[in-house]
Every structure is written in structure tokens, then in C-alpha cells.
Amino acid sequence: MELRHGFEGEPMTITAVAKELGLSASNARRIEQRALGRLRRPLQPIPAAGQAGGMRPTTRPSGDEMTRVRAILGFNDVKVLAYGRGEEATVIAVTEGLVVLTDETDLAVAWHEIVHGGWNGETSTLRWDFLDGSGASVKLSSPGKIPEVFRSKVTESIVATKTVPVRGGDVLIAGRVPAGHLADADGAITWTAMARESADLNDPETRQTVVKTTDSLKKEWS
């Protein structure tokens, strides 16, 4: 904001600011809009010591946060299920998945894309893992109902599972259903396969077993 509006010199264009800070122009513009949104918020009086009705933790996203949520999801009719906050991130659970807002970037994760994860109360951390082995986590000082909604929605996205013994271990085959705007009109199921222990999905015999089992499950659930 100092560079953009010339608090200590001449005002700079958003392109010049982005170059100065090593950011893309779009990221610089997003940060500027976020800062302006915060500046527009009215200051709340701080109750005196012992005064009833002290500051309560925020339980709903702000207007600025909802604008960012709609932008990353790509639609406007967003239903918020839960809201949590931390020092470095804000997490908003919606019908379709999880939206994480930070000062650096915004991201969205669909419920049916999460293989496993959950809330660690000791570290106040929410973690989730994907099929490819990658994952992410976020620390929340005020988790709200995020832990409960996370567990419920991930579980709801699983309609069928089957463990298949193969060479070196086993493979977990799961049928997942996208929710909300991500769901197909005909309720199509997305089928995934996750190798466990030393199982290898590239092994021809394992691959054949997985394909055969998945085809059988597709017929059963069609």
C-alpha cells in the first residue's frame, strides 16, 4: 500500500509494485484489494475491563472473504458450512469442499479429492492428503466446526470401498461422489485406487486385478 499510494514518495502503478516486490501483477492487485477491504471495515470499540459483552470470535466469513471464495470456486451461490481461523490462514467449509485463504494465495480442495486426513487437537492442525501422496495442513487457533464438518463431508463423499490383496500389499479401491456444483447430473461416481504397503499399481498383474475389480464395482453401483 505504501508503494502503490505513495506514502513515502511517488505513487507507483500496480505493475511497478509487482516488479518491485517480485510478484505477478494479478497477485499484487489481489493483495491491494484485500488491504483496501480491511481498511474499509469499521473499527469496533474494545469493551472496558470487566464490561459484559466482550469481543466474540468471528463465526462467519466477512464480505471480502466471501468475494474471494466465490472467485476461486467460480460460482456465486455458495453455502458456508463452517468457518475457522488461524494466524496465517482462514478455512471455510462449503458444500463442495474446503477453501483456504492466506495472504499468499487462495486454494480450494474438493471433498472427494481427499483420501484421508483430520483434525489434531494437540497441535490445532487440520491435515489432508491426496491420492498422489501429496498433502497439506493448516493451523487454526479458532477452528469452529471445521473439524466436525471435515470428517462428515469426506465420509459422505465415499459411497463404496473394497480392499484387494495384491503382490506386496493391497490396493484400496474407492468410489467417490463430488458434491454440490461439482456433482454430475446423473450422480456419476469417481473411482480411485490407492496402493498400500509395497504394492505397485504399475505391476501388470496388480493393474489387471485393480481394473477387473473396479469394473465389477462399477456394474454393481451403476
Question: Tell me, what's the pLDDT at 51?
Answer: 43
Q: For residues 94 and 69, is the Cβ–Cβ distance under 8 A?
A: yes
Instruction: Looking at the structure, tell me whether residues 152 and 165 fall in a common domain.
Output: no
Q: 45 in a domain, yes or no?
A: no
User: Any idea of the CA torsion for 43, 84, 178, 120, to the nearest 10 degrees?
Assistant: 170
Instruction: Looking at the structure, tell me whether residues 69 and 144 fall in a common domain.
Output: yes
Taking the model in full, what pTM does it have? 0.71
**Cα–Cα distance measured from residue 41 to residue 18, given in angstroms and rounded to the nearest whole number:** 25
Instruction: Looking at the structure, tell me whether residues 115 and 176 fall in a common domain.
Output: no
Burial 94-124 (b: 16+ CB within 10 A, else e): bbbbbbbbeeeebebbbbbbbbebebeeeeb
Asked whether the predicted pLDDT for residue 148 surpasses 50, the reply is yes
Q: For residues 97 and 85, is the Cβ–Cβ distance under 8 A?
A: no
Q: 211 in a domain, yes or no?
A: yes
Q: For residues 146 and 128, is the Cβ–Cβ distance under 8 A?
A: no
Question: Tell me, what's the pLDDT at 30?
Answer: 66
Q: 51 in a domain, yes or no?
A: no
Q: Residue range 210-217: average pLDDT?
A: 97
Instruction: Looking at the structure, tell me whether residues 172 and 152 fall in a common domain.
Output: no
Instruction: Looking at the structure, tell me whether residues 99 and 149 fall in a common domain.
Output: yes
Instruction: Looking at the structure, tell me whether residues 148 and 76 fall in a common domain.
Output: yes
As a 3-state breakdown, the chain gives helix, strand, coil percent values, each rounded to 5, of 35, 30, 40
Asked whether the predicted pLDDT for residue 215 surpasses 60, the reply is yes
Instruction: Looking at the structure, tell me whether residues 152 and 70 fall in a common domain.
Output: yes
Q: 183 in a domain, yes or no?
A: yes
Asked whether the predicted pLDDT for residue 32 surpasses 50, the reply is yes
Q: 19 in a domain, yes or no?
A: yes
Instruction: Looking at the structure, tell me whether residues 201 and 183 fall in a common domain.
Output: yes
Instruction: Looking at the structure, tell me whether residues 69 and 139 fall in a common domain.
Output: yes
Of 110, 139, 156, the one marking the end of a domain is 156
Nearest CA-CA partner of 180 in 78, 103, 101: 78
Asked whether the predicted pLDDT for residue 135 surpasses 80, the reply is yes
Q: 33 in a domain, yes or no?
A: yes
Q: 122 in a domain, yes or no?
A: yes
CA angle 192, 195, 196 (to 5 degrees): 135
Nearest CA-CA partner of 180 in 149, 153, 214, 140: 153
- For residue 208, give its domain range: 158-221
What percent of the chain lies above the pLDDT cut of 90? Answer: 68
Identify how many contiguous H helices and E strands the chain contains and give both numbers.
Answer: 6, 10
pLDDT tens profile 49-87: 444 444 345 679 999 999 999 999 999 999 999 999 999
If one counts the domains in the chain, the total is 3
Instruction: Looking at the structure, tell me whether residues 88 and 142 fall in a common domain.
Output: yes
Q: What mean pLDDT, rounded, does the chain reach? A: 85
Question: Tell me, what's the pLDDT at 53?
Answer: 44
Lowest model confidence (mean pLDDT) among 103-107, 150-154, 164-168, 181-185: 181-185
Instruction: Looking at the structure, tell me whether residues 212 and 147 fall in a common domain.
Output: no
Instruction: Looking at the structure, tell me whether residues 152 and 162 fall in a common domain.
Output: no
